[in-house]
Structure 1
Amino acid sequence: MSKLYFTEEHDLFRESLRDFLKKEVVPHIEKWEETGQIERFIWKKFGDMGYFGLATPEAYGGLDLDLFYTVILLEEMQRINSGGFSAAIWAHAYLAMTHLNKEGNHEQKEKYLTPSALGDKIGCLCITEPFGGSDVAGMRTTAVKKGDTYVINGSKTFITNGVYSDYLIVAAKTKPELGNKGISIFVMDRDTKGISATKLDKLGWRASDTGEIAFDNVEIPAENLMGEENQGFPYIMQHFALERLIMGINAHARAEYALEYAKQYMSERTAFGRTIDKFQALRHTYADCETQMEICKQFNYYVAKRLDMGDYVVKEATMSKLQSTKMADDVIYQCLQFLGGYGYMEEYPLARMSRDSRLGPIGGGTSEILREIIAKMVIDDKDYKPAT
């Protein structure tokens, strides 16, 4: 590992995490991929090991470590080849828990963040709606103040952990007439009256529970408001940088794993009297793939370092996701080709990896939206500011 970013402590953490995943997670992956439900025991084991609290303050059950521990967690989870399991874990730890950590008050953190870090509660983040994905400002879900409560009506979709989570972080319009300046963020318990969820059937990420959630006159206490009323949009935008960097890191990590697997296969597969890694056409294609992966990987490390230092890296994180997810799709496509007919077989990892990877250019902002965000910044000199 690069000594520019990883210390000896990081390396030891990677070794112990890889051993944990191999012993505690890998034996169950096939079952979870089939059932679409990750058993609760593993959440508790992750919590007991501190893996949910890497970026969480010690006061709320976390370890408050630097961002490269998170990088290691993301990279190693890609090596077990279940995009759904990985997504369920990081959506809890870095979508739901990030909002709790940043916008939650002390009481909210004690009730939701601490048990989240310990693996006792699972969270989900509800922003995307059936009528608009990347158009956050166009959301239709409303939260109407009624005395000392809010009444929530609307729906969300494509929500990771949307079916089996214990609590929801929900974005809703408290002042619809203000557009994106009228969005607020709330936390609510799953068993609150009026909340229902439908599980969605997906191409990939099959181990995770992706849901469509309906809110039918859901009444919650006013104290469930997170942060300031009508400040939800800047909160969401601010955290998109971390989400997009996470998806960029996931992408370079799964591409790296695909290349490792393909290289091993090519060193053993023979054709015309020699192993196929000796054929120039395949060697040079592999070299191109390795180059593309390494460029993305090093850029992602650079962005992670800047984010860890407190820089506002919305442009760089957007570039990370845009380029890395495209690279991963291209590299995994080619790795499947290296395996020939075997690459198309479910007993080999490239089939699932191809399905799981395809969500990369879609989730967390489509590539088309990301290009427009970058264009606004580099052509129109748009300057996004962090939430105050």
Structure 2
Amino acid sequence: MNQWNTPERQALRESVTRFTEREIVPNIAQWEDDGELPRSLSKAAAAAGILGVGFSEEVGGEGGNAIDTAIVTEAIIEAGGSSGVIASLFTHGIAAPHIIDSKNADLIERFVKPSMSGDLIGSLGVTEPGGGSDVANITTRAVRDGDHYVVNGAKTFITSGVRGDFVTTAVRTGGEGFGGVSLLVIEKGTPGFEVARPLRKMGWHCSDTAELSFTDVRVPVSNLVGEENGGFLLLMQQFVNERLGLALQGHATAQRALDLAAKYARERETFGKPLASRQVIRHKLVEMHRRTAAARTVTRAAIEKSLTTPVTDPDMIIDALMAKNTAVEAVEWVVSESVQIHGGMGYMRESEIDRHYRDARIIGIGGGATEVLTDLASKLLGY
């Protein structure tokens, strides 16, 4: 027994697996065509005690820590869900932590708790049309006007931006650089705030993604998250968790792709014999297993470390970077080999591996592109 397979966590994994098989697997193809998840799934996940795992009961969550959150992610993907489902269903995982860290009781009551119950859907607005990973140089501006901020600018690639009821938004309230960034909660329906357009993507089809525009949007000062010009620190404190979450999606998707490939290889006959009887196929499966296991080991070790190490600790930052890049390398190779083993069927939309192949590509881009993270690691390591 270890931290990952205690009786309680085994029960959690089994519960999430059953939920996935009952609520997600029969419907995911339709959700992919629809371009979004139904809001009823959030309510169902909350009722099943899944939506708030990893968040304290004080903010409306179910309790547990990063290991419990990881088990939920692994179980959903490995039971036939997808990283797209994770991204959309658990968007509060990137929208709410900054609010919780600010300890603003009013904002927690208004936005965090309803997100945990499935009554509200939140999103995080950082990326802008003119920039991606360069968070310190955002241009969306918020100017103080009495009891309000007047916001002008745009955000893009915003997960759950179409369905979202509120956006935890990075804005510039001060001078240039990271010291002038603040966070504001901007509610849907506020005059001047528009979903400019939903975005069509290579993958994550069931996760709605939007471009948002802000034209003289008046946001109450009471919606400020933390201190004015203190938003970059709140964002930075979540970088480690975001990257570990994507690493989890990576190794879990790789495991699902391996499972699908192994099953197909045993069932598919070629020239009178199962595909799995071919040495080249067996060797592919072994290499897929090795890379997946390595990514899982590195990621889980980093998650365990995060339970006792501050997210601002350089060693913790490095471990998160290494976990994400290792998982990206593994999942991109494993899903490609899984499609190859499936042959022509792997190229069909009716095949599940098609979804994972498309979905995996974003993991090396979101949360900091692989190249950006490698460069950051080189600086932290002194190379």
Is the TM value for this pair above 0.5?
Answer: yes
Q: How many residues align?
A: 377
Which residue of structure 1 aligns with residue 46 of structure 2? 47
Q: Deviations over 1:41-67 (max 9, x none)?
A: 111111222222212221222122122
1:56-71 alignment runs, 5 A limit: 56-71=55-70
Which residue of structure 2 aligns with residue 85 of structure 1? 85
Q: Deviations over 1:305-357 (max 9, x none)?
A: 11122443211111111120121011100011011111111121111111111
Which amino acid in the other structure matches residue 5 of structure 1? W
Aligned mates of 1:222, 1:311 — CA distance in 2: 30
SS at structure 2 position matched to 1:359: helix
Aligned mates of 2:4, 2:132 — CA distance in 1: 34
Q: Is the Cα–Cα contact under 8 Å of residues 269 and 276 in structure 1 kept in the other structure?
A: yes
SS at structure 2 position matched to 1:235: helix
Which residue of structure 1 aligns with residue 329 of structure 2? 326
How far has the Cα of 1:104 moved from its partner? 4.5
Aligned mates of 2:63, 2:270 — CA distance in 1: 52
1:72-221 alignment runs, 5 A limit: 72-79=71-78, 80-92=80-92, 94-175=93-174, 177-197=175-195, 198-221=197-220
Normalising by structure 2, we get a TM-score of: 0.95
SS at structure 2 position matched to 1:129: coil
SS at structure 2 position matched to 1:52: coil
Aligned mates of 1:26, 1:5 — CA distance in 2: 25
**Structure 1 vs Structure 2: percent identity of aligned residues?**
35
Q: Deviations over 1:184-235 (max 9, x none)?
A: 0111211111110110011111111100000111111111111111111121
1:372-383 alignment runs, 5 A limit: 372-379=375-382
Q: Is the Cα–Cα contact under 8 Å of residues 299 and 324 in structure 2 kept in the other structure?
A: no
Aligned mates of 2:335, 2:169 — CA distance in 1: 34
Which amino acid in the other structure matches residue 323 of structure 1? T
Which residue, 339, 342, 349 being the options, matches 1:346? 349
How far has the Cα of 1:90 moved from its partner? 2.6
Which amino acid in the other structure matches residue 278 of structure 2? F
Aligned mates of 1:24, 1:273 — CA distance in 2: 38
Which residue of structure 1 aligns with residue 23 of structure 2? 24
Q: Is the Cα–Cα contact under 8 Å of residues 81 and 349 in structure 1 kept in the other structure?
A: no
Aligned mates of 2:345, 2:263 — CA distance in 1: 14
Does residue 371 of structure 1 match 2:374?
Answer: yes
Moved over 3 A (4+): none
SS at structure 1 position matched to 2:96: helix
SS at structure 2 position matched to 1:124: strand
Q: Is the Cα–Cα contact under 8 Å of residues 56 and 101 in structure 1 kept in the other structure?
A: no
Normalising by structure 1, we get a TM-score of: 0.94
Q: Is the Cα–Cα contact under 8 Å of residues 6 and 68 in structure 1 kept in the other structure?
A: no
SS at structure 1 position matched to 2:51: helix
